Chain A
Amino acid sequence: MPILPPFTVSIPSSEMAVRDALKQVLAALGPLELGTEEAGTVELVLAEVLNNVVEHAYPDPDTAGPISIACAHRIDGLHLQIVDQGEAMPDGTTPLGQPVSLDVDFEDLPEGGFGWFLIRDLAKDVLYERVGSKNQLSMRLAVALQPGETRH
């Protein structure tokens, strides 16, 4: 299986632009012929990461900036780097992404807090760095593995 050439998708920060980015990335991954589950993993992780950028890195839509998604297919899966020029992560680190507690009363059932849990659960090697005025989040998704590689 040939390795896909690296590519980058850039969007302005908005919820509708996130949809566009997901569509573009999945289209560019077409040659990998991902199955439903693998394509779902890529779409879900990227959606969570990009929605977080739109909501938290660029909280004011009037001053929202660009988001870029660089994607490289390697022998151990898909390497993603998401870069924005918005506000840094609080405390300079990513949320822990603990599972939500379901052992609660009906009215306390969680309506949020799933995003980082899903990212942590589905992505490997998650690394956040603040570089100058940029946030750089990189991760690996164990999809489209080359023969012989196992899913670690």
Chain B
Amino acid sequence: MQLSAKTEEQLRIVSVLGSRIDAAVALEFKDAMRIQTEDGPDTVVLDLSEVQFIDSSGLGAIVASMKTLGANRKMALAGLTPTVERVFQLTRMDSVFSVFSTLDSALAELRH
């Protein structure tokens, strides 16, 4: 489970470099997210534009990553592909995150 991360204008942008966040990589994803977000800006943008599939384990791992940030930091999701977006909608977890259709729209809204 590879992630790439950069900091730009007070935002930590973490991109998932893989097509799946599923049970096989959920733990690895959580560990990699913790490492990429343990310091740095308060707002983390998780770029999911390369992810074609998540299952409930992947969804749980994303929620866990947000909780690891703590209540004073914030996680936004960007670039959800149709199948990924549907999992968030069906479980209503899209109401827990700020969700943006593209990374650019997330950055435009969140940078200041």
Contacts and interface: CB of A to CB of B under 8 A. Distances in A.
B22 A19 contact: yes
Contacts of A106: 67, 71
B54 to A, nearest CB: 9
Contact of B83 (A15, A19, A44, A110): A44
Given A106-B67, A111-B67, A112-B56, A100 B23 contact: no
A45 to B, nearest CB: 10
A36 interface: yes
B64 A47 contact: no
Given A19-B20, A107-B71, A40 B56 contact: no
A84 to B, nearest CB: 16
A82 interface: no
Interface in A100-115: 100, 102, 106-107, 109-112, 114-115
B83 A109 contact: no
A128 interface: no
A109 B55 contact: no
What's the dominant secondary structure at chain A's contact region? helix
B91 A47 contact: no
B28 to A, nearest CB: 11
A43 interface: yes
A114 B54 CA distance: 12
A40 B67 CA distance: 27
Contacts of B56: 48, 51, 112, 114-115, 118
Contacts of B60: 110-112, 114
7 contacts: A19-B22, A51-B55, A109-B96, A111-B60, A114-B93, A117-B91, A118-B90
Interface of A: 15-16, 18-19, 36-37, 39-40, 43-44, 47-48, 51, 54-55, 99-100, 102, 106-107, 109-112, 114-115, 117-118, 121-122
Interface of B: 20, 22-24, 53, 55-57, 59-61, 63-64, 66-67, 71, 82-83, 86-87, 90-93, 95-96
Q: Which 10 A-B pairs rank lowest in CB-CB distance, beginning with the nearest?
A: A40-B83, A114-B56, A15-B24, A111-B60, A115-B56, A47-B55, A106-B71, A51-B23, A111-B64, A15-B23
